[in-house]
Amino acid sequence: MEHTALITNEAVVFGLLMAVLGGIFWAASEPRFKKFFSIVPALLLCYFVPSLLTNTGLVPKDTHIYFIASRYLLPASLVLLTISIDLKAVLGLGPKALIMFFTATASIIVGGPLALMVVSWISPETVGGAGPEAVWRGLSTIAGSWIGGGANQAAMFEVYKPSGALYSAMITVDVVVAEVWMAIILLGAAKSDRVDAWLKADNRAVKELQGQMEDFIARTSKIPTLADAMKILGIAFGAVALSHAAGDFLAPWFTEHAPYTANFSLTSDFFWIVIVATTVGLLLSLTPARKLEGVGASRWGSVFIYILVGSIGMKMDLMEALSQPGLIGVGAVWMLIHVVILIAVARLIKAPFFFVAVGSKANIGGAASAPVAAAAFHPSLAPVGVLLAVLGYALGTYGGWLTGLLMYAVSGDPSPIMLP
């Protein structure tokens, strides 16, 4: 039975979200709460507390706030967080970022069939089914999502054809398991030095980039005027307009003239929005506009990111997850395999936790989550997340397809792999 939320007016819901975020930052700035926030980072609370609004029935799970945050505020933040980037320094981070990204992809491909096997030993009925109801078909859509994004998930739905009810259940598994991992990443980002020491990682390149950015901010910093604020917002949302215009033109063009490029997400308008916004920011970083960092460009970008984080938190419905404990268990085992492989490789190559987090979220979450995870370490690192997420979009359909084949092989499903 559907329960109507107490507050359904989206203007009130958004105001409540902003009040919650403001309250968290007020508490974080109070000396009496210093010890608490040294353990629990503000960013994690900005994610978790809004989820309580949904799960207590105060506000609805399905609002337009996430859409607005991801389509308008995310591209604006990408421009503002990228505008001051030292591109040469980012490229100088070395190959470990790519190694961890591809490790994340491989661990998802391998983890799917392994999770299916493990759970089948414990609870065979949880991962059984045949034809459209075969659980592996639904899990293939999670593989598409976790390696790429929503477009890749939809592609796997069309390829392996799970039932509508199974697909809906898998969306719940996808969101809940991925967002719990996101919360752990945000917690780890606040303790990254300690995690890096445990990983025996060489984090000098990341620290050097952070230091360069902090030095640049210190050199260019001044009290912003109204004109400065309007310039920042004008550039940010002008770039958002350009990004949407490009998406509105390019996505339909590729759909009509090169439909096979859907495998690379080139038919998705969101893909182009993210790409164009990031490109505009990178180009502006080569111009005098870079000095806008001194009057708070990245601060505005961070505000938009925090609103996005809060809106993501509001999407996590824990009550719905509790109604699917078996499938959540499959997703949790799958995620655990992913994390164990990532940590093992990170320790082997001495990769810092930043590369673990961003490599993982560039796969699991894509362009909406990877820059958030990267910015949790330092705002200047957000573009690294975007660049890797784009790579995830390109691999998502192929990786999801391969994962589906492997899961079919271990599932024991008697029906043909391709349904009419």
Query: According to the model, what pLDDT value does residue 1 have?
Result: 41
CB-neighbour burial class of residue 220 (10 A; exposed 0-12, middle 13-18, buried 19+): middle
Query: According to the model, what pLDDT value does residue 343 have?
Result: 95
414 pLDDT band, cuts 50/70/90, is: confident
Q: Are 327 and 135 in contact (CB under 8 A)?
A: yes
pTM (2 d.p.): 0.73
Q: For a pLDDT cut of 70, what percent of the chain falls above it?
A: 94
Q: Is residue 92 scored above 60 in pLDDT?
A: yes
Q: Are 42 and 188 in contact (CB under 8 A)?
A: no
Three-class SS of residue 132? helix
Q: Is residue 416 scored above 70 in pLDDT?
A: yes
d(CA 96, CA 119): 33
Query: According to the model, what pLDDT value does residue 265 have?
Result: 67
pLDDT tens per residue across span 130-159: 777 788 888 998 998 898 776 677 778 877
375 pLDDT band, cuts 50/70/90, is: confident
Q: Is residue 282 scored above 90 in pLDDT?
A: no
For the chain, give every domain's residue range.
Answer: 69-411
Mean pLDDT confidence for 82-98: 75
pLDDT tens per residue across span 320-373: 666 678 888 899 999 999 999 999 999 999 999 999 999 999 888 777 778 888
With CA atoms as reference, report the closest residue to 351 among 199, 181, 189: 199
264 pLDDT band, cuts 50/70/90, is: low
Query: According to the model, what pLDDT value does residue 340 have?
Result: 96
Return all residues near 362 (Cβ < 8 A) that are at least 6 apart.
Answer: 101, 104, 370, 385, 388, 389, 391, 392
